[in-house]
Amino acid sequence: MDPIRNPYSPGAGTPPPELAGRDELRETVHIAIERIKLGRPAKSVLMIGLRGVGKTVLLDHMRNRAEADGHTTIRIEAPEHRSLPGILAPQLRQALLKLSRTEKAKSLAQRALRALAGFAKLKVKYEDLEVALDLEPEPGLADNGDLESDLQDLFVTVGQAAKAAQSSFVIFIDELQYVPEEQLSHLIAALHKTSQLALPVALVGAGLPQLTGQMGKAKSYAERLFDFPFIGPLDPQQASNALAIPATQENITFEPAALDYLVTTTQGYPYFLQEWGKHSWDIATSSPITLEDCQNATATATAALDASFFRVRFDRLTPLEKRYLRAMAKIGPGPHRTGDIADILERTSQSLAPTRAKLISKGMIWSPSHGDTAFTVPLFDQYMKRIMPDLPS
């Protein structure tokens, strides 16, 4: 069929043609943002889930709605080896300049910019912090060099400016698990301060499943400030809708058996649904798309995943880390007891603990419960068997 009309969109953070199965969560976040605008209590939201469940897409959709509703937002991604001040300050500057053009908030937004100028002095400690400001810092405001108190001062002034503009200030952060624990602690404390003052500041974040534990370790009261909805694969009906509705809009249908096959093969993960949908469309010659078309598409869909989605993660691993993941794959998709993995490698759990910790920090595995280990990337066990047919000695 016509590849130009192919509706499916596999890609990192690429919006799917049909955002199926997430309506309740999207409404929950919308209500929370509207409540904080009114000065009423609402928890910030941190979405957690494996790779490929659509967290980034949801984050961007939620931000677009917040912007359309008149809220002030910033959107940042927390990459590895970057500091929170380094990624936060430039985006804050843009948001505050926008707020300063609002007559009601002009003076308070300019004060917040002066706070940001003082905050930027942290570049001595956080060398990746770069932000150009014309305003002089206000002495004593967010400039004492202690990130926790300075971030609180900064968030309070931003919240006051947003309140004056009859808006709210919402920070959208992706890959939040990469923020170092100490800096995560300071971020939580700043949000706690604005909550105590009933200022309209909120965080909507996304991260891998280990984020829940990281937040709890950073601040014991984090569970009272945040909701942690788990974003999982779509159920069979939702997964079918994600495939069938975009096709129907192009006057194309799937055989029921074809849809069943795709839902089962992808396990309902949104990213994989888009990948298999794209390749099934390209292979099919006419409507309806048949079971045979979808079965034939598996080879090309798998090759595409191996070359991009899986490979970029595999290439970041050391030889020992690859062996560790291959041992996990030998047992199955998981989760697995840490001791069972060590037995396969003929090592002790203690000697492998640094390797396991590194894999967690790289976002490759997580611990669903004490002593258990699981992949953060769905179907990665199958990939490891393809890329490493045998467990190297």
Q: What is the pTM of this model?
A: 0.91
Same domain, 64 and 202: yes
Same domain, 111 and 207: yes
Does residue 108 lie in a domain region? yes
Q: What CATH number did the domain enclosing 293 receive?
A: 1.10.8
Give the per-residue pLDDT at 86. 86
Please write the tens of the pLDDT for every residue from 332-354.
998 999 999 999 999 999 999 99
Give the end of a domain, one of 211, 227, 243.
227
Give the per-residue pLDDT at 246. 96
Whole-angstrom CA distances from 17 to 8, 59, 247, 257, 262 are 7, 16, 10, 22, 17
Does residue 10 lie in a domain region? no
Question: Does 369 score more than 60 pLDDT?
Answer: yes
Q: What CATH number did the domain enclosing 341 receive?
A: 1.10.10.10
pLDDT confidence of 216, banded at 50, 70, 90?
Answer: very high
Does residue 257 lie in a domain region? yes
Query: Is the Cβ–Cβ distance between 71 and 169 less than 8 Å?
Result: yes
Same domain, 37 and 176: yes
Q: What is the DSSP string of 41-92?
A: ---EEEEE--TTS-HHHHHHHHHHHHHHTT-EEEEEE--TT--HHHHHHHHH
Give the end of a domain, one of 187, 207, 227.
227
Same domain, 138 and 268: no
Cα angle 119-129-75, degrees, rounded to a multiple of 5: 90
Query: 106-120, 160-174, 293-307: lowest mean pLDDT where?
Result: 106-120
Please write the tens of the pLDDT for every residue from 10-29.
877 778 888 888 999 999 99
Does residue 78 lie in a domain region? yes
Does residue 138 lie in a domain region? yes
Same domain, 341 and 302: no
Helix (H) / strand (E) element for 37: namely: helix 23-37
Give the per-residue pLDDT at 117. 84
Residue (of 261, 243, 272) closest to 377 by Cα position: 272
Give the separation between CA 44 and CA 202, rounded to whole angstroms.
6
Q: What CATH number did the domain enclosing 73 receive?
A: 3.40.50
Does residue 103 lie in a domain region? yes
Same domain, 122 and 213: yes
Residue type, 127: E
Report the Cα 86 to chain-centroid distance in Å: 19
Same domain, 176 and 53: yes
Same domain, 102 and 165: yes
Same domain, 41 and 85: yes
Domains of the chain: total = 3
Same domain, 262 and 145: no
Q: CB count, 10 Å around CB of 251?
A: 8
Same domain, 280 and 374: no
pLDDT confidence of 114, banded at 50, 70, 90?
Answer: confident
Does residue 265 lie in a domain region? yes
Identify the domain containing residue 277 by its residue range: 235-313
Q: Can you give the C-alpha Rg of the chain in angstroms?
A: 23
Give the per-residue pLDDT at 126. 64
Question: Does 181 score more than 80 pLDDT?
Answer: yes
Same domain, 80 and 200: yes
Give the end of a domain, one of 271, 292, 313.
313
Does residue 7 lie in a domain region? no
Give the separation between CA 48 and CA 210, rounded to whole angstroms.
8
Give the separation between CA 191 and CA 196, rounded to whole angstroms.
9
